[in-house]
Copies of this chain bind each other. A is one copy, B any other.
Amino acid sequence: MVMKFLSDNAARVHPRVWEAMRAADTPDSPYDGDALSNLLDERFSALFGRDCAALWVATGTAANCLALSAMVEPHGAVICHREAHIEMDEGGAPGFYLHGAKLLLAGGEGAKITPEAVARIVDSIRDGVHQVQPHAISITQASEYGCVYRPEELAGLANFARGRGLGLHMDGARFANAAAFLGGDPALAAGLGGNAAGAAGGVDALSFGMVKNGGMSAEAIVFFDPAMADKVRFRRKRAGHLQSKGRYLAAQILAMLEGDLWLDNARAANAAAGEIAAAAGDRLLHPVEANEIFLTTTAVERLALRELGFEFYDWGEEAARLVTAWDSREDQVSALAKAIAAL
């Protein structure tokens, strides 16, 4: 039997998302003029406890790059981790959407960056026109290694960004997993100081991922400065991302928010990852805070796991990456945990 731990990308669509899409199957205004699309601003504003503007797009790559396009001019740069998705996995999309702006790469444990690491880059750039100047910072929550930025880390980055006049973007492909890890408050997970705290601090724009977490084809870009959204509406259309039957995307997002399905799904995926992590002991390359497990393993060990039916990616020569999803089956998770413990 095949048991897939390759990617949450490949998971199924949640039944409640299906239901919401079917419920939207009646003629309505095209593009984002329909009743469902018009609910997004309000729903995200309620979720984050402050005024937001939210746009749907089909992919995380589009979400990240469109969000950054509101902060970065073509002659500017984005500072991100050298393992960031925008650098490693988006086929050069930032170069396309930002018209040739540069990515400047910082290091950092667990694929997280710190104000100090960012400062080293900023301070190494000569003033003036001969070197590209940074316009924004992009961080990933949870990070590409499944690590979660704590609220105080986010506050530090937000303060640094404000102090240097830089925008702050969050790639939240697994934002739900991070929020679940932090107790379930999305404002905290976005560095916004908790729902009680008003608009201070935090990120300027968030790519709020849905597809890895039970959605089909809809991600949300959430702008905490609504003026940014007005510009990005034009950029979304110009990028061919304004779908004519947008109501089916809005329906997915609303279903994910309804009754905190997004949190429930993320908790399920995190719990599955936690069970596997507990079995892995000191094989773990990074603390397991979301739904990804990076495991030191030999090629022989990986072969053994695969012979048992488990599918996953090699991570270099000496490790494996395993990803759980909202629909990971308990029996398969337990079987995997046992198999790892038995290596």
Report A's interface with B, CB cutoff 8 A: 4, 6-7, 9-13, 18, 22, 25-31, 57-63, 65-66, 73-75, 77, 88-102, 129-133, 211-212, 216-217, 231, 233-245, 248-249
Contacts and interface: CB of A to CB of B under 8 A. Distances in A.
A74 B223 CA distance: 20
Contacts of A245: 9-10, 13, 211, 216-217
B130 A248 contact: no
B90 A95 contact: no
Given A30-B10, A75-B234, A242-B59, A95 B91 contact: no
A92 B58 contact: no
30 contacts: A10-B245, A12-B26, A13-B25, A57-B240, A58-B240, A59-B240, A59-B241, A62-B239, A63-B240, A66-B240, A73-B231, A74-B238, A91-B129, A91-B131, A91-B132, A91-B234, A92-B101, A93-B238, A93-B239, A95-B102, A95-B238, A96-B100, A96-B239, A99-B99, A129-B237, A130-B237, A133-B234, A211-B243, A216-B248, A217-B243
Contacts of A77: 92
Nearest to A89: B130
A296 to B, nearest CB: 20
Given A100-B99, A211-B245, A217-B217, A240 B93 contact: yes
B26 A242 contact: no
Q: Is the interface of A mostly helix, strand, loop or mixed?
A: loop
A336 to B, nearest CB: 15
Given A12-B25, A99-B100, A248-B217, A241 B91 contact: no
